[in-house]
Amino acid sequence: MTASLAEVSDRGVLVLGLAASGTAAAEALVARGARVVAVDAADSAAVRA
């Protein structure tokens, strides 16, 4: 399933990986009203924030 960023408002979205592109994607989705759950295998303060 694919959706444009315009169609994510109030939808749940899972982002896997929080390197530069994953973080940017999560931020863009939140800015458009998505409910984001982000997961990364790394354990760092930046990931937990």
Answer yes or no: is 3 within a domain: no
- Residue numbers of the domain that contains 36: 10-48
pLDDT in tens, 27-49: 999 999 999 999 999 877 766 66
| pTM of the shown model | 0.77
Answer yes or no: is 5 within a domain: no
pLDDT band at 6 (very low <50, low <70, confident <90, very high): confident
Answer yes or no: is 27 within a domain: yes
**CA max distance for the chain:** 32
Q: Which of 28, 43, 49 is nearest to 9 (CA)?
A: 28
Answer yes or no: is 32 within a domain: yes
Answer yes or no: is 41 within a domain: yes
pLDDT band at 4 (very low <50, low <70, confident <90, very high): confident
Answer yes or no: is 23 within a domain: yes
Answer yes or no: is 4 within a domain: no
The count of domains in the chain is 1
Mean pLDDT, rounded, of the chain: 87
Other Cβ atoms closer than 10 A to 44: 9
